[in-house]
Amino acid sequence: MAPAYSSCGCIFVMTLFMFILASSRADAAVTSTAVLITVDQSGNGDYKKIQDAIDSVPSNNNELVYISVKPGVYEEKIVVPADKSFITISGLKANNVIITWNDSGNIFESPTFSVLASDFVGRYLTIQNTFGPGARAVALRVSGDRTSFIGCRILSYQDTLLDDTGRHYYKNCYIEGAVDFIFGNAASLFERCHVHTLSEGDAAITAQRRESPSENTGFTFLGCKITGVRTAVLGRPWGAYSRVIFAFSYMSNVILPQGWDDWGDLSKQSTVFYREYKCYGPGANARKRVEWSGKLTDNEAGIFLTKNMIGGRSWIRSTPTRFKKASTAISNNSTRHA
């Protein structure tokens, strides 16, 4: 197979710029007024804990709620319930708003941060599970639809990001782990993210769980950077029809020449959809890739190179520019819990 990357850096940069520019125009330009809630461990906000701020939002909420989190290390196990949509939780810098917990075991019970609601946005947060090697230890579970994470750091070792169900958008995020650390059956676009593997051998970065050709799910990594400490493969199939695409992405020599693994099931080689498109770097050389992976043609690549693949034109929203005080109900909750 011919190498799947361009040898001309200038062509790559120009092409990537054009795709990103076209993609960014698709962002939903929502500038509605949001209810502002502040979280500050010093006591100078509405709440000292992030979960208390989430709990204050009424069930079946239909207003934009912006929870601004001041710098600090928040030792909390956080859940955004399914009946509390339209919430944004934001720090100013991911390095100074750290949400941390230490749990392991069940992938649905161990997460430090679980998003069950739709229309959620996380911005400039560090979300980590500090359990380390030896067991499943999820940092972030995303099970709501139309969910975005911008400029976040997502850290664990095994099963870091449970990208469970729904349509998701990750932009400028740093995601770190060792074993199957981006996994699930969502339809997700990872744009300009840094993916760092802690694998010491041949562990997989992704374990996508698409189980039927009729499911419109899969992971696309667009303009990303792949680094690591030793060696790893790009993915292995949790589901028989697992679908993962890497496009315009830099791959360091951490990526093993074969690129992909069939998880010991030869039958999945004929059903998975593992593709690369104009990636570059020493780990992107496709000459020794497994024969059941491949390269996208220009025509095939089109749908994966914009936010259209997740319907993002209609739901990815920009940061609110106007804010108002919380309603009486939320203010009363603040008085009781602060």
Tens digits of residue pLDDT in 218-253? 999 999 999 999 999 999 999 999 999 999 999 999
What sign has the CA pseudo-torsion 254, 277, 242, 103? Answer: positive
Residue 175 tokens, joined:
């995601």
CATH number for the domain running over 31-164+323-338: 2.160.20.10
User: Is pLDDT above 50 for 163?
Assistant: yes
Q: DSSP string of 243-269?
A: EEEEES-EE-TTB-TT-B--TT-GGGG
CATH architecture of 1-28+168-319: 3 Solenoid (2.160)
Domain boundaries, the chain: 1-28+168-319, 31-164+323-338
Instruction: Look at residues 215, 192, 217 and name the one whose alpha carbon lies nearest to residue 207.
Output: 217
Q: Could you say which of 52, 163, 180, 261 is catalytic?
A: 180
180 catalytic residue (yes or no):
yes
Q: Which residues pair with 277 in a beta bridge?
A: 247
Amino acid at 184: G
Judged by average pLDDT, the poorest of 9-18, 106-115, 282-291 is 9-18
Q: What is the pLDDT of residue 313?
A: 87
Q: Do domains 1-28+168-319 and 31-164+323-338 have the same CATH topology?
A: yes
For a pLDDT cut of 70, what percent of the chain falls above it?
87
pLDDT tens for 72-118 read 999 999 999 999 999 999 999 999 999 999 999 999 999 999 999 99
Is the pLDDT higher at 12 or at 239? 239
Average pLDDT over residues 137-152: 98
